[in-house]
Amino acid sequence: MRFLARSLTGLFLVAATLGLLAFAGSLIVGAVADRMGAGGPGAPARERVFSANVLTVVPERIVPEMVAFGEIRSSRTLELRSARAGRIIEIAPGFQDGAAVTAGQLLLRLDPADAISARDLALAGVAEAEADGRDAARALDLARDDLAAAVAQADLRRQALTRQEDLASRGVGSAAAVETAALALSSADQAVVSRRSALATVEARVDQAASSLNRARIALAEAERALADTEIRASFDGRLSGVSVVSGRLVSANESLGQIIDPAALEVAFRLSTAQFSRLVDAGGDLVVAPVRVALDVMGAEIVATGVVERVGASVEAGASGRVVYAALTGARGFRPGDFVTVTIAEPALDGVARLPATAVDGDGEVLVLAEGERLEETPAPVLRRQGDDVLVEVGALAGREVVAERSPLLGAGIKIKPIRAQGAGQTEAAAPEDVELTPERRAQLIAFVEANTRMPDDAKARMLEQLAQERVPAQVIERLEQRMGG
């Protein structure tokens, strides 16, 4: 037994010794091979090829858009002011902020007692002036008749003088008779002059009576206007704003009582930089009629209106820059003066341009173009406009060529790439918003939140409820609602 154990131990030691010798031999052979290979010719290096998305440049006609932020304003506003001092004795029902009024509706009434008294006194003055006018007219008729009688008497005296002179020339009459007739004619002529003077006095009285009547009528018109000023009425259909009156309050002349705003006559005012404004001016220096789109974000839904650029501010405020532009709106339902909105202005169309991702153009306005052998070369591409994440470039010699959509530090002129071509190359497509199918409980919770919201305009609320009633609802709408719910 002891012999067998010793034999097995010896065999194990021999086997271990042979294995170690074999392992040492392989290490030596490998080291010698590496040493000999280090000084010999190396294997040829392989060129590294990168993959890159490319798209084809297609020239087209594009309408650039500028985005600005503006404020909704009312182009038709009436300030309610008291034309005279007085006490408020009547206020129309619903005379409060936000209430709707119609043209001609009575809004306020001041105490008219003093105005009525002044009107009655003016009426009495008119009646008195009219009576004076009638009396002067009668006196004028009498004066005219008196003058006519004096003229007739003078004519008779003149005939008598002529007859006495004729008799005296024939030796029949006497000189005393002629002298008496001449004295009588002189007295008659003096009476005519006196009657003419009286007629002129009466005519002046008639003119004074007419002038007094005109003054009395003017005073009556002023009294009636003062009486009408005790009633404040709406000049057009609109809504009240800034109301601050109570019944029985004493108001002073020209005191502001509120405003009427026409919600259908709205405009938007927005500020553009000088460079942006220059794109809205034609060759003659006149402002082009550019269409605009106004959007207001309300609880995840958008209220949208359209309009056209109408005018530009006449001056630049101190410390400000750029230009303030005004655009008239049409169909601006749901907007209110003071809303902060996003304004998108359509510029004049550009021909021979292409829309590329902003990542395709470097800071020097150059793009990487795919050339022969799928190698890249840099080519100038003047940037005309920046539209969000895209740019509009002048096509020129790039028409029909492929450019790298996303530049990186690894790509440059002379680099060989493996082009990746997507469908619709040359265009950037925005991903469609994801639609989500709601559970009944979640849908009911969102609908209840929208219906309970009192700050949301009726139009936006109806639009959002219509979206929530669909089988699939945009995820963006759901996310915004749940953020406001705190969920």
Task: Give per-residue pLDDT as tens, 143-155.
Answer: 888 888 888 888 8
More confident residue, 37 or 237: 237
Which top CATH class is 114-228?
mainly alpha
> For residues 153 and 193, what is the distance between their CA atoms, to the nearest angstrom?
13
Question: Considering the domain 263-346 in this protein, what is its CATH number?
Answer: 2.40.30
Domain map of the chain by residue range?
A: 80-111+230-260, 114-228, 263-346, 351-421, 435-485
What average pLDDT does the segment 273-285 reach? Answer: 87
Q: pLDDT tens, 193-204?
A: 888 888 888 888
Q: How many helices (H) and strands (E) does the chain have?
A: 7, 25
Which top CATH class is 80-111+230-260?
mainly beta
* Model confidence band, residue 9 (pLDDT cutoffs 50, 70, 90): confident
* Model confidence band, residue 364 (pLDDT cutoffs 50, 70, 90): confident
Q: What global pTM score does this model have?
A: 0.61
Residue-averaged pLDDT of the chain: 84
What's the confidence (pLDDT) of residue 431? 40
What's the confidence (pLDDT) of residue 432? 43
In percent, the amount of the chain with pLDDT more than 70 equals 92
What's the confidence (pLDDT) of residue 221? 93
Q: Is the pLDDT of residue 45 over 70?
A: no
> Under a CB-based contact definition with an 8 Å cutoff, are residues 253 and 83 in contact?
yes
> Cβ contacts of residue 431 below 8 Å, gap of 6+?
none
- 351-421 topology per CATH: 2.40.420
What's the confidence (pLDDT) of residue 417? 87
> Under a CB-based contact definition with an 8 Å cutoff, are residues 167 and 205 in contact?
no
> Under a CB-based contact definition with an 8 Å cutoff, are residues 398 and 381 in contact?
yes
